[in-house]
């Protein structure tokens, strides 16, 4: 039939009527596909002061159902001097998708907040897609109220509910928040919603996270979460919608109650997620609190440019993360819990560690470049800024002369981490990127060197000052005739500080 049509007309010509009909058919088909596509919607539920292990121990069928049906991802927050493990920094981090060194909130005074440059995700939705409907409800006033140090969620949000809760009042106010939000979710048309519930944090302060009262509070809040989930499930248009549900917290609690410090119980946070493309019962270690906003925005088709967060659907290509099954428990360290698996000296395939200049002895865990987790490394010695390594994820490389020196040794720390040989094109440029967490002191050296086609390494960058939780980029000018490059990270010191490196790429 195609051949016959071309036989009746000059080469390259098309019959006007047939072309118009084909175009109209294509348009109808595209419109049908668009009409059939589920409408993306997102609900973020914030549970103040919730500890994941205690949620698992409580009578919490709805939260446990989300874990069974979707993703569970536990991680740690920062500590001072970046920010206290308090609600102001915590909810600002969740809402904006950036860390406190960007959004500026370091405690509950909100001094230094920079929401203008780093707005909450609902405001980003309003700025980018004002036709979408946004909703926020809370009973901790800074979340939604203009009368307090916030609001974290700005006045641009289409509809906001702000009730006044306190440590004695959340038990009565949370049900009001949940009821109002459930009515909005069931009968309204929110495209993006944030709902805050505060009773769990109040129970942590009054009774401690290890108490039965805390478990009872988790159970009551879980029932309210169930109301919100049921409201989504009862929407008359649910069959035409694609919902992503995210549950998170702003900080943890000590067993005896309280937060704000640098302990892992206070720094603890988590993300639960359910939605299309999220495997049921999955567990991840590379998800951070900033990923909540990024995931919500990406689901709605809104740009995540400038965010520290990464949408949950983003592939993890970091070879260090593949080392997690090889991680070992402590050897010489005493401050790290005995059961915590968090370090190895075995590099990923293609990578290598040169310890030919290393002294002998020292703390086993840190004898040359090691590969470790935040949970493990930050507990080796608290309050020395190891907790601030927030831009690394899961497993990262670390050279720590300070901890290595804690056990008798000869010589000094001098170790080099080398990448595989990567193909390059001579005469071009390439950008070396890596996440770096470096604390400087006179007498130590942190160098990035490159070697083309096996030639002698050439210095391309030296770190000579504190560079906390940085995304680094180094432009490499590839020599003519070069076909491969190898990158080396050399750290040398003698009871100095440390250097952590992650997510090394060449592009």
pLDDT for the residue 169: 85
Q: Which residues pair with 341 in a beta bridge?
A: none
For residue 218, being part of any structural domain is answered with: yes
Best CA proximity match to 177, nearest among 139, 120, 223: 139
Structural domain includes residue 27: no
The SS3 call for residue 487 is strand
Residues 282 and 364 in one domain: no
Do residues 164 and 223 share a domain?
yes
Q: What is the CATH number of the domain that holds 159?
A: 3.40.720.10
Burial 315-349 (b: 16+ CB within 10 A, else e): eeebbbbebbeebbebebbeebeeebebbbbebbe
Q: What is the pLDDT of residue 376?
A: 98
| Res 18: pLDDT | 60
Q: How many CA atoms lie within 13 A of 334 on its CB side?
A: 2
Whether this model's pTM surpasses 0.85? yes
In angstroms, the CA 304 to CA 295 distance is 9
Tokens, residue 10: 């000059």
Residue 13 resides in a domain: no
Planar angle of CA 393, 397, 403, nearest 5 degrees = 115
Task: Tally Cβ neighbours within 10 Å of residue 305.
Answer: 6
Q: In this structure, are residues 449 and 458 in contact, taking their beta carbons and an 8 Å threshold?
A: yes
pLDDT value for 150: 76
Residues 213 and 71 in one domain: yes
Given a cut of 70, the residues of the chain with pLDDT beneath it are 1-36, 147-148, 166-168
Cα separation, 224 vs 47, whole angstroms = 11
pLDDT of residue 250: 98
**Residue 10 counted as domain residue:** no
- Identify the pLDDT of residue 164: 84
How many CA atoms lie within 13 Å of 128's alpha carbon, on the beta-carbon side? 16
Residue-level pLDDT at 135: 98
- Is residue 31 one of the residues assigned to a domain? no
Number of domains forming the structure of the chain: 2
365 found inside a domain: yes
What was the pLDDT predicted at 30?
54
pLDDT at 149: 73
Other CB atoms within 10 A of residue 464 CB: 12
What the block records as the tokens of 483 is 């076909």
Q: Is the dihedral of CA 368, 373, 378, 381 positive or negative?
A: negative
Q: Using CA atoms in the order 154, 143, 247, 436, what is the torsion angle rounded to 10 degrees?
A: 80
Residue 292 has which token pair? 């909540």
- Residue 14, pLDDT score: 40
Domain that holds residue 284: 39-299
Q: 158 lies in a domain?
A: yes
CATH number, domain with residue 350 = 2.60.120.200
Joined tokens for residue 446:
């942190």
Q: Tell me the angle at which helices 170-187 and 199-207 cross, rounded to the nearest 10 degrees.
A: 160
* 473 & 326 share domain: yes
Spatial CA neighbour of 451 closest among 398, 489, 495: 489
What does the DSSP 8-state code read for residue 240? G
């Amino acid at each position: 039939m195609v051949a016959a049509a071309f036989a009746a007309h000059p080469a390259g010509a098309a019959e006007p009527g047939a072309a118009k009909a084909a175009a109209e058919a294509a348009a109808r088909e595209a419109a049908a596909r668009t009409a059939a596509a589920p409408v993306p919607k997102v609900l973020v539920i914030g549970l103040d002061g919730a500890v994941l292990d205690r949620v698992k121990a409580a009578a919490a069928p709805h939260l446990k159902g989300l874990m069974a049906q979707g993703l569970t991802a536990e991680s740690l927050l920062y500590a001072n001097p970046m920010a206290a493990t308090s609600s102001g920094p915590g909810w600002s981090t969740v809402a904006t998708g950036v860390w406190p060194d960007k959004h500026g909130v370091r405690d509950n005074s909100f001094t230094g907040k920079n929401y203008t440059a780093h707005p909450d995700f609902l405001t980003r939705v309003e700025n980018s897609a004002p036709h979408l409907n946004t909703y926020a409800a809370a009973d901790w006033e800074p979340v939604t109220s203009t009368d307090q140090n916030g609001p974290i969620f700005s006045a641009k949000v289409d509809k906001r509910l702000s009730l006044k809760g306190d440590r004695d009042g959340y038990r009565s106010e949370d049900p009001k928040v949940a009821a109002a939000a459930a009515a909005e979710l069931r009968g309204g048309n929110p495209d993006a919603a944030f709902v805050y519930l505060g009773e769990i944090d109040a129970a942590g302060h009054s009774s401690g996270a290890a108490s039965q009262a805390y478990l009872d509070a988790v159970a009551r809040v879980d029932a309210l979460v169930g109301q919100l989930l049921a409201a989504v499930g009862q929407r008359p248009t649910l069959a035409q919608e694609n919902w992503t549900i995210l549950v998170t917290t702003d900080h943890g609690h000590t067993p005896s109650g309280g937060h704000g410090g640098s302990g892992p119980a206070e720094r603890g946070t988590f993300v639960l997620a359910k939605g299309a493309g999220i495997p049921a019962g999955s567990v991840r270690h590379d998800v951070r609190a900033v990923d909540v906003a990024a995931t919500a925005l990406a689901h709605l088709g809104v740009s995540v440019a400038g965010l520290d967060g990464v949408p949950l659907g983003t592939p993890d290509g970091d070879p260090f993360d593949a080392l997690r099954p090889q991680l070992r428990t402590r050897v010489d360290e005493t401050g790290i819990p005995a059961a915590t698996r968090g370090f190895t000296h075995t590099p990923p395939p293609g990578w290598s560690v040169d310890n030919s200049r290393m002294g002998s002895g020292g703390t086993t865990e840190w004898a040359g470049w090691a590969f470790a987790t935040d949970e493990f490394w930050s507990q080796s010695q608290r309050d020395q800024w190891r907790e601030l390594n927030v831009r690394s994820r899961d497993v990262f490389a670390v050279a720590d002369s300070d901890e290595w020196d804690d056990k008798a040794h000869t010589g000094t720390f001098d170790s080099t981490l080398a990448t595989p040989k990567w193909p390059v094109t001579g005469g071009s440029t390439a950008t070396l990127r890596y996440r770096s967490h470096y604390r400087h002191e006179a007498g130590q050296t942190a160098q990035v060197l490159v070697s083309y086609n096996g030639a002698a390494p050439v210095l391309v960058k030296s770190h000579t000052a504190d560079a906390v939780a940085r995304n680094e980029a180094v432009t490499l000018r590839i020599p003519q005739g070069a076909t491969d490059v190898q990158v080396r990270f050399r750290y040398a010191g003698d009871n100095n500080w440390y250097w952590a490196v992650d997510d090394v790429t060449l592009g």
